[in-house]
Amino acid sequence: MTNSLPETTLGIVGGGQLGRMLGEAASPLGVETVVLDPTPDCPAFPPAADQIEAAFDDQSAVQALAERVDALTLEIELADPESLESVAESTDTPVHPAPHDLRVTRDKLTEKETLDAAGIPVAPYRGVDSAAELESALAELGSPLMLKARTGGYDGRGNVVVDSVDAATAAFGSLSGLVAESLVDFERELSVIGVRGAGETAIYPVGENIHEEEILRETLVPARTTESRRERASEVARSVLSVFEGRGVFGIELFETSDGEILVNEIAPRPHNSGHYTIEGAVTSQFEQHVRAVLGLPLGSTALREPTAMANLLGDSGNSRPVSLLGVDDLLGMDGVHLHWYGKRDVRPLRKMGHVTVTGSDLAANHERVKAARETLRFGPADT
């Protein structure tokens, strides 16, 4: 593949909102996208030019996608690294991030071990495959502790605070394939969007994440902490990038402890929810940056245009149902407010349906405005 444009096609395994925003960012560069996703008319289609309806681990479908694109990437960790590696070898289609990177991040124990071996700070942890190992972890790491499924978890799913074997068994059933971590006494949760390009790396400003029920509600940039702690978070993020092999955007979630230490929590080898602010808030969005990196193009500036607040629009507590979004006129009448609706037909509790962004010189004011803007929106019956 050459890095000349236009008439370049990028394949994306996954067709959710990240794929949608990747397609939107690729189009102005003259890059066409094709997505693979099992959901008919997934959120990424359109703006993707085409969709292959297949499971993320369907190797023949991934092969078919690779054969019609210039490079292959992913927007969901459910992509299968073995299938991606096999396809890369058989088609010579570049795959980024590398299958190695996905193997590291999709297994929370492997991720901790990889970071630990590289001298990157993480909370104390233990692998757990039995009741006896959990008992040992409770004794060594303290009780209660955080217990996580090694694979398959996201948005807080598969993460449970436990203080006994009985509590863990009730939550997970089988006590195998788990990782135990000390509970971190953190002052705030941070994240850094890092980028590995072709012979270059880049770091976005440090963001502050506000969670409820382990679901991201708001991101504020720059993070409301000291400059020295932001510098340390950026330094740790650059170290994290060094353990990976492929190109692309990496979402790096961090804890800032009460005594100022920065610990890595988890890493996503793709654009990240906490980086959505970059669409309006940064010179180059994380989505354009990912396209550039995967295709081997020069990276864009990661500079912050203005302090920015982002708020997720999440599904309500009602039953899963088709909906329309109400209150859009009121929101769009608010100065400096930007709406991103992901085009999902059905709402479910805590499902990410969209996000709202506000930029301006006063971060505290932006935070209040973005929360007020979100409150103007509500879900109504689907249009007939």
Q: Binding site, residues?
A: 108, 148, 181-184, 189, 211, 265-266
Q: What is the spatial distance between Cα 237 and Cα 203, in angstroms, rounded to a whole number?
A: 8
**For the purposes of burial, counting CB atoms within 10 Å of the CB of 173, is it exposed (0-12), middle (13-18) or buried (19 or more)?**
exposed
Phi, psi of 151 (to 5 degrees): -130, 155
Q: Give the N- to C-terminal CA distance of the chain in Å, as an integer.
A: 46
148 bridge partner residues: 159, 179
Q: What is the spatial distance between Cα 157 and Cα 140, in angstroms, rounded to a whole number?
A: 25
Specify binding-site residues for ATP: 108, 148, 181-184, 189, 211, 265-266
β 207-212/215-221 pair status: antiparallel
Written as six digits, the tokens of 98 are 């590398």
What secondary structure does DSSP assign to 92-139, as a single string? ---BSS-HHHHHHHHSHHHHHHHHHHTT--B--EEEE-SHHHHHHHHH
